[in-house]
Each structure stands twice: as C-alpha cells, then as structure tokens.
Structure 1
Amino acid sequence: MTMSGTGTCLWFDGPGEPGSALTVAFELDWRSFTGLNGGPQFTFNEPISFVLSFDSQAELDEKWDALTADGGMESQCGWLKDKFGVSWQLVPAMMPQVLSGLDPAGAQRAMAAMMGMKKLVIAELQAAYDG
C-alpha cells in the first residue's frame, strides 16, 4: 500500500494527554481508515485497529475469511484479530441506518442481534431492525 496523500486529524477530549487526538482519519491506497486512541489500558494491537465497511455480504465474507485464515481469531460484533494479532472490525455499510435509524425499537433489536454475532450478517441485522 502507498499513502494517497490525504488525511484529517479530528481532535476531541479523550484518553491520554490533554490535547491528544481521539480519532485520526486517513487514506491508504484510496481506502479510508480511522485510528482511535483507546488509551493506555489496551496493548499494542487494540488501539492499532482497522474498521472496514462493505456494501455486500459477499465482500465482507471474503475479507473475513482472509483475515481469520492461518491463525486469525474471531471475536464479537464483527471484530477479529488476524494472524499477526492486528485487530479489525468488518461492518456492513448499512450499520448506521439500523443502529441509529428512525425506529428506536428497531435499532435496539439490531443492536441485540449484532451483540450475538461474531461475523456480522447484513440480512440478519436488517431483519432484526425491521422486526
């Protein structure tokens, strides 16, 4: 990967020294990434994690399978660690619509469904939201 040359730093009060960044958004090879300052309570890998968003289940499944292969470990809510111990969260692009949609009860159902999943399943999240 090469740096595409774009990046934004978003400054919010958070863990760490006053004035330190809570999140940093950047692009690598034309793909957007967000870095989160998780504070000193995490080891090296949790604060250095990647969140990837996918439009289709097939794309999400393909990347999930690749990242959990050869010693990767699945976790809850779309999180995993690859074979190197780097943390990733793979999420459907539609997640904001079902977790903070106009129907509060639907959003609660979608959140409950997500909490019971390892790899996130778009159809199941949408069905939970729809009731």
Structure 2
Amino acid sequence: MQKITTFLTYNDQAEQAAQLYVSLFPDSAITRVTRYPAAGPMPAGQVMTVEFSLAGQQYVALNGGPHFTFTEGISLSVACQDQAEIDRLWDALTADGGAPSQCGWLKDRFGVSWQITPANMSELMRGDTPAQSQRRMQAMLKMHKIDIAALRQA
C-alpha cells in the first residue's frame, strides 16, 4: 500500500478526469468508483470518488462541488523519455479547454496543473559551460511546451 496518496477534488468531473489521465499513461487504471448515498451532500448516485493509478502511483478524485478549485500551487510533474512523449501528453492535456503556460507547465481542462518535462531536464539545463547553461535557461523561459532540440542548440 502506498503511504501517501494524492487526493484531487473536482466540482463534478472526477470520473471524466480519471478516464482521461489513465488513457495517457501505461500501468494506469481506474480501480474503484463510489457513489453518493441518498443522505450525501450531492445527488444520490452521483460519482463521489474515483480511485485510480497513474504509472503505478495511486490517486483519489472526489466530486466535492464548485467551492473546490485547483491552483498552480500544486502540479503533477511528468518525466518524459523523449520529445514524442512530451508532444503526445502536451496535446492531450491541453485539448478541449486546457491551457499552455510557460516552461513546460500547462493546465488541463479540469484546472489541474501539470509539468511536462524531459526526464533529463536537469542535465539539459546544466550544459557544458556556465554560458551554455545561461543560454539554455533563457531559451526555456521563452518556451511553453519544452523543445528538447532547441534546448540542446542553445
């Protein structure tokens, strides 16, 4: 059993969010859906929680109503193996109302912030010299989606 589980609270789209997320990552699945009982704060039968795993990590999504919202103060960070994985996840997570931000950050259509970056981001940013590291930092600060080739060129 995982000791710490990320708990995400949505207005009323927990199941749709979990379905999107598990479709994007290998070793992912929805493992349990519970529904509000008649005495609950939401209509009876509405999805209350969705337990799911993403790449082997456990999460719980709750439909808690409109007073719960997400902020950039917390994000899900994904270490991508290559540009193709960055492109695929970026496109899927910004689709249908998601929004790009800067330096590899985005918000999905549910308002959850994600960092979609190369697994070797630290190495890429370090560069071979202090001047190269500075050029790469300047290049990254101008990017929305991370472009590995452009960082290497900087």
Q: Kindly report which structure 2 residues correspond to 1:37-52, keeping only aligned pairs within 5 A, or say none.
A: 44-52=70-78
Aligned-pair Cα RMSD in Å: 2.3
Structure 2 residues not aligned, in runs of 5+: 5-52, 59-68
Pair 1:87–1:5, CA change in 2 (3 A): same
Q: Which residue of 2 aligns with 1:93?
A: 119
Taking CA–CA contacts closer than 8 Å with sequence separation of 6 or more, which of the two structures ends up with the larger relative contact order?
A: 2
1:106 aligns with 2:103: no
Runs of 4+ in 1 over 6 A off after TM superposition: none
Q: Which residue of 2 aligns with 1:5?
A: 2
Q: Which residue of 2 aligns with 1:23?
A: none
Q: CA deviation at 1:99?
A: 1.6
Q: Which structure has the bigger radius of gyration?
A: 2
Post-superposition Cα deviations, 1:18-54, rounded to whole Å, max 9, x if no partner, equal xxxxxxxxx954259xxxxxxxxxx742223111111
Structure 1 residues not aligned, in runs of 5+: 8-26, 33-42
Number of equivalent positions: 96
| TM-score, normalising length: structure 2 | 0.56
Q: Which residue of 2 aligns with 1:119?
A: 145
Tell me if structure 1 keeps the 8 A contact 2:98–2:107.
Answer: yes
| TM-score, normalising length: structure 1 | 0.65
Pair 1:89–1:127, CA change in 2 (3 A): same
| Alpha-carbon distance in structure 2 between the residues aligned to 1:95 and 1:87 | 18
One-letter amino acid of the counterpart of residue 88, structure 2 = E
